[in-house]
Structure 1
Amino acid sequence: MTLPLPLPLQLRLQLRVQLQLQLQLQLQLQLQPTLTCRGHRQVRELVFPNLEDGTGEYGEKTLNKAVEMVKAVPGFTRGFEVTRVSKSRVGCNFKTVLWWGARQDAPVVGKASLSALAEGGMCLTHHTPTSNGKEHAPPTTFDNEMSRQDIYEMSDFIIDLADSGVKTVDLHKTVQQKSGKRLGREGKALVRCIVEKHLEDSREAFNDAQEFLAHLQRSKAHLWFRADNQSRITSIAWASDVQKAAAVRFHSVIITDTTFNTNRYKFSLALVVVVDHENHSQIVMQALLSNERQESFQFVYESLKELCEGGSPKVCFSDNDAAETNAIELVFPGTVHKLCIWHTYGNIREHGGGLGEGVLSEVIRKFRKAAFAQTVEYFLQAKTELLAFLPRESKMYNYMANNIFGKGRVEKWASCVHPGLHTLGICSTQRVEAMNSAVKRLVTRSGTMVELNRALMGKVQDDANKTKRKSDGGRLPRAPLSSMSSMENVKRGLLKHFSFVVDAVKHERSSTHAIKDTEAQVVAALGYNATCLVRGEDEARLLLDELVADADKAKLWYDTSSGDLIDPLQATTGAAGVSMVSRTSVPHFAHLLRDQNVNSVVRVSMITPPSEFGHLVALGPDGFFLCTCLRQLEHGLLCPHGLKAMWTEGVDRFNGATISPRWRESETPWLMADLAAKPATLSAGLAASAGLPVAVSQPPRVDPNSTASRSGPNVPSYASTVWRASTAQ
């Protein structure tokens, strides 16, 4: 037996040759009885050697040998009568072929197909006795004819035409006009296959959709859907009662994203994720979308608004999809829309493919510096450095200047625009990406809608159980230690001293996460020094005005590299948002305190290494404080700098409603809400240079001697929950 010699892949790609041996020409050829089943079986069992010798004859020796072996089978080729009457462009319909594929070492006997013939195969009738060694005309081809790849790339367009009721002839004309090429016979056949496959899938999807809707109705889910003019579902959104409760309570900050390969119908899965009171991610709504156009995203957000009983999120994080951005602006006009920083990095990388070695990484580094700049001045400096780094005539310069730093885009990713925005420290869609990953491990791309829903509801229930376990104190009760270390004694002493703070937080029925975080910040206060700069309302106002005039005197610490992304899935106890880097400028800090009673201003710095730079903490009545780290606003939790300042000044009162309502069960209004809502106020000139919006004008200054109530955390009506040190002991 001759062993087949391997033929180079590139050469075999040129040798997609069909040697078609005719058993029966449809309507034209008559097969004589001399062809026996035994002869047919012998042909099927033949093994053909590869005789390629590298002479460049493109495998002719191998093919000719294969033909001789087939013809040598007794009774197989006798009695053929070839009549050339077919004028078909694509050749003949044969029942048996000799095929040499690109990844085969030698020819094999197989079934003939029109598609294989159209891909470059040849019908060689001269291998039958009566053809006189002549080959009939090969398939007719046209230079301007659409390839199979061209047609597949237009599949969505073809399906849209078919769904619109366009007749077959008009559909072919429209496809040809759009492509600028001609549809051959094979092309029309492929178009027909695409349409028929779509109709078959639609019928199957219709049945599954009916079952899915019935399943959701039986489970009493909150349901919204849209259908086309043929009563086929194009978008469907739903949520359980558990999800609705979480959506109503925690929808002030939402993260959204879409993913694929979760069902057999190629619908995109859209998830809406929130952060609950224990800092766990929760899916509050899911939707299946036939496309990702603006109207589909608008349907999702309208459904979410109804689920939240008319409520709108304060902040929404999404990727850089323009259709989704437009939908958010239409449905939630008052929502602050933030773009995922990771997706923005990805877009920059896509547009920087032609840059030299090391240039792209430097562009991203400089952009990162601008994204996390704490003040507008530092932002402008980073922007200027980045654009100066790129040649003005380059495509990358144009993309960065007109797109990334374009009008209406900067405020969606720059931190300096709204330093105290209550984002929970989120700056990406990582939470929802983690949910997508978890769901995809539970489903397959060939699954039904019902199977997808079961996986989603299982994930939702698991996450709800996880939060409940944390709120209940964990799975196992904690056993008290028989003896304590020196550090444990110090910790207990600190917690006892600040028991009025911890008790005030507990009084508001705060979550386990918030209580543990408060205790962690109390202990962390040990690592700081505190020095009172001024005491008294008038002195504090004079100092703030002086610092606004000369910001260097504030001795705040700015570090544009400190905006490193924090994994939002990690526990934040004693970690997230705690930094010696100021998150705001002196003018904005003074603007936040404009209508607050300020009794003293304290500078807080690290014990080791010692430094004259640090945070400024303003203290007011009833335990009010505001630190330049802005953790109270961004995360809605306390910071160790403010607690250290309270300790130094002997403050013994605290209002638990300083904690964000997200982290507690009580309905007491958030005392810091007005401050968190204030964006940075810029002059027209500075805003134009940075490409940022000009904030609303400052409200009139309130007379500190006035008896009228002020807005903010010092309103007397909020003082009912203030805890004193004496009552807490």
Structure 2
Amino acid sequence: MNDEASVHINKSFQSLVCDVGGFENLPFVEHDVRNYTRRQRRALGKEGDGQALMAHFSHMRQMNNNFYFEIDFDDNNRISNVFWADARSRAACEEFGDVVSFDTPYLTNKYDMPFAPVVGVNHHGQSILLGCALLSAKDTSTFVCLFNCWRRCMSDKSPDGILTDQCKAMQNAIDIVFPNTRHRWCLWHTMKKILEKLQGYTYYKTIKTKLKTLVYESLNVHQFESGWQQLMNDHDLDNNDWLVTLYEERKRWVPCYLKGIFWAGMSTTQRSEGLNAFFDRFINSTTTLQQFVVQYENVLRHKAEKECEADFASLNTTIHVPPSPLLNDNISKPTHIPSLQKYKWNSARR
């Protein structure tokens, strides 16, 4: 009740401590209170939010049979996980679902739930939404349910590549549901941890410089592996558990191991994070699930309009090739070269 009245959790906990006469008389700590409050926030069904969301999705499906949604319920018949994808997103996935970015930050909505958008890249290099979920937890079983739902929605098609952070639960779920999908870690998230993991070493700055050079400038696998072993020997890093784990998983994040594989120009989850930042501008602690879904639909319409503008510009732009002694006269003349369009996708979109 205090949480619903916007009383800070630390003050609620202090009032409990005062009520029982000291910390030692409470059978739980403040962290337990925070976890309990989060679980209650995620118990969709309070105040009719769950029913309103069901009604909204049902209405969307009546308008278009290709609108897809799945809702999981807990033991108390309250909504715990939600996944949905509109007809446009499903059509886009057929053409642009080869490689997807997946990230799960917490949005500050009424239920403090992890937000899980599936983001792809279209033929203009623009980010597109291929589906979305709101989750009750970030564990392996929840991700397995989500990925199975995603696969059912997309006619049992698995992506060729998926880009995520280093979440172990997510990695386990990908191995179970998408065993043939290439899983890549976000390079930025991986390198960002250098300060946290290595700053205690005397020659930290030297180690950081060498490590970044090794990762970003190694031209081939042999150069990286020999350079890595040299770095470990020079600075006695063989017992650093973080570096040992990174090396064991090097094929998931080191660029030279991922050459020759189509990643749609992505090496980080920046596209997912940019989308999350956009939503954060419109979401607050009082936002209901239905209000959030409406905002999501607004984003879809906005991105659809941007794609239409890019299609028009592409089809109506003439690329002028400057004269060059290396080119013959026919090639050097101004040439109209429309960008490659995925006509099947354009038809599905219409």
TM over 0.5: yes
Partner residue in 1 for 2:9: none
1:4-153 residue pairs with structure 2 within 5 A? 118-119=17-18, 144-146=24-26, 151-153=29-31
8 Å contact from structure 2 (residues 42, 113) kept in 1: no
- Please state how far the C-alpha of 1:202 moved relative to its aligned partner: 3.9
**Offset at 1:203?**
7.1
- The reply on whether 1:453 has 2:331 as its aligned counterpart is no
Change (3 A) 1:365 1:311: farther
2:145 is equivalent to residue 303 of structure 1: no
Q: Does 1:256 align with 2:99?
A: no
Could you tell me which residue of structure 1 aligns to residue 232 of structure 2?
A: 387
- Matched with 2:140 is 294
Distance apart, 1:293 and its partner CA: 0.6
The 8 Å contact of residues 42 and 80 in structure 2, kept in 1 or not, is answered as no
Q: CA offsets per residue over residues 552-598 of structure 1, 9 Å max, x none? A: xxxxxxxxxxxxxxxxxxxxxxxxxxxxxxxxxxxxxxxxxxxxxxx
Structure 2 CA distance for partners of 1:118 and 1:400, relative to 1, 3 Å: closer
Counterparts of residues 235-634 of structure 1 (less than 5 Å): 235-356=81-202, 359-372=203-216, 373-392=218-237, 397-401=240-244, 403-406=245-248, 409-473=249-313, 490=323, 497-498=330-331, 510-511=340-341
Paired letter, 2:247:
F
* Compared CA separation, residues 244 and 206, structure 1 to 2 (3 A): farther
2:59 matched to which residue of 1? 218
Does the 8 A contact of 2:103 with 2:165 survive in 1? yes
Distance apart, 1:322 and its partner CA: 0.1
Secondary structure in structure 2 of the residue aligned to 1:270 = strand
User: How far off is 1:346 after superposition?
Assistant: 2.6
SS of match in other structure, 1:259: coil
Q: CA deviation at 1:419?
A: 1.9
The whole-number CA distance in structure 2 between the counterparts of 1:140 and 1:315 is 56
Contact 2:215 2:255 in 1 (8 A): yes
Alignment RMSD, CA only?
A: 3.5
The answer (yes or no) to whether the contact 2:72–2:82 under 8 Å persists in 1 is yes
Instruction: Determine which structure has more spread, i.e. the larger CA radius of gyration.
Output: 1
Distance in 2 (alpha carbons) for counterparts of 1:315 and 1:353: 33
Partners of 1:251 and 1:308 within 8 A in 2: no
- Aligned match of 1:541: none
Amino acid at match of 2:53: F
Q: Which whole-Å CA distance do the structure 2 matches of 1:232 and 1:495 have between them?
A: 70
Q: CA deviation at 1:294?
A: 0.8
- Cα shift at 1:205: 3.4
Distance 1:222 1:339, change over 3 A: same
Residue 115 and residue 261 in structure 1: after superposition, are their counterparts in 2 closer, same or farther (change >3 A)?
same
TM-score, reference length from structure 1:
0.41
Asked if 1:665 is matched to 2:318, the reply is no
Unaligned runs of 5+ in 1: 1-112, 121-138, 160-193, 481-486, 512-663, 668-729
Look up the match of 2:6: none
**Amino acid in the other structure paired with 2:268:** S
2:104 is paired with a residue whose SS is strand
Q: What's the CA shift for 1:420?
A: 0.6
In structure 2, how many angstroms separate the alpha carbons of the residues matched to 1:229 and 1:140?
A: 35
**CA deviation after TM superposition for structure 1 residue 307, in Å:** 2.2
**1:339–1:412 Cα contact (<8 Å) kept:** yes
Contact 1:263–1:446 under 8 Å retained in 2: yes
Deviation at 1:496, TM superposition (A): 6.4
Contact 2:44–2:78, Cα closer than 8 Å, also in 1: no
Deviation string 1:646-675 (CA, Å, 9 cap, x unpaired) is xxxxxxxxxxxxxxxxxx4379xxxxxxxx
Deviation at 1:315, TM superposition (A): 0.9
Structure 1 counterpart of 2:32? 154
After TM superposition, give the deviation of residue 214 of structure 1 in Å: 0.8
| Structure 2 residue matching 1:284: 3-state secondary structure | strand
Matches within 5 A, 1:161-240: 202=43, 205=46, 207-220=48-61, 221-240=67-86
Cα distance change of structure 1 residues 205 and 288 upon mapping to structure 2, 3 Å threshold:
farther
SS at match of 1:404: helix
Which amino acid letter does the alignment assign opposite residue 330 of structure 1? I
The one-letter code matched in structure 2 to 1:398 is D
Task: Report the 3-state secondary structure (helix = DSSP H, G, I; strand = E; otherwise coil) of the residue aligned with 2:124.
Answer: coil
Amino acid corresponding to residue 435 of structure 1 in structure 2:
L
Kept in 1: contact 2:323–2:332 (CA 8 A): no
Amino acid aligned to 1:399: W
Give yes or no for contact 2:283–2:292 (8 Å, CA) kept in 1: yes
Q: CA deviation at 1:232?
A: 1.3
Gaps of 5+ in 2: 1-11, 62-66, 346-350
Instruction: Provide the rounded CA distance (Å) in 2 between the counterparts of 1:317 and 1:446.
Output: 31
Q: 1:495 to 1:254 in 2, by over 3 A?
A: farther
CA distance in 2, matches of 1:235, 1:203: 9
Alpha-carbon distance change, 232 to 494 in structure 1, aligned in 2, over 3 angstroms = farther
AA paired with 2:265? G
Give the residue type in structure 2 aligned to 1:363: I
Cα offset, 1:328, TM superposition: 0.8
Does the 8 A contact of 2:41 with 2:111 survive in 1? Answer: no
Q: TM-score, normalised by structure 2?
A: 0.81
Taking structure 1 as reference, are residues 306 and 366 closer, same or farther at Cα in structure 2, changes over 3 Å only? farther
Deviation at 1:360, TM superposition (A): 3.7
Q: Find the residue that maps to 1:317 and give its secondary structure.
A: strand
Task: Report the CA distance between 1:495 and its aligned residue.
Answer: 9.3
Do the aligned partners of 1:248 and 1:309 also contact (CA within 8 Å) in 2?
no
Higher relative contact order (CA 8 A, sep 6+): 2
Cα gap change, 1:410/1:474 in structure 2, threshold over 3 Å: closer, same or farther?
Answer: closer
Q: Larger % of helix: which? A: 2
Equivalent residue letter for 1:510:
L
